[in-house]
Amino acid sequence: MSGGATRRAVVFLGLFGVFALPFGGFGRDEPRRVTCSFSNPAYSGWCKENAAVPEGGSAEGVCRGILSCLNDPACSKTYCSATTVRSGWKLEAVEGGPEKK
Tell me the residue length of the chain. 101
Q: What is the DSSP letter of 83?
A: -
Cα 53 to Cα 91: distance, rounded to the nearest angstrom: 17
In a 3-state reduction of DSSP, which class is residue 30?
coil
CB 91 within 8 A of CB 64: yes
Question: 49 - beta bridge partners?
Answer: 36
End-to-end CA distance of the chain: 39
Q: What global pTM score does this model have? A: 0.68
Kindly give the confidence (pLDDT) of every residue in the chain, 101 residues in length, as a single tens digit, with 9 standing for 90 and above.
Answer: 566 665 565 555 554 454 444 555 555 577 899 999 999 999 999 999 999 999 999 999 999 999 999 999 999 999 999 999 999 999 999 998 655 54
In angstroms, the CA 82 to CA 70 distance is 10
Beta strands in 1-101 (DSSP E): 33-39, 47-52, 90-96
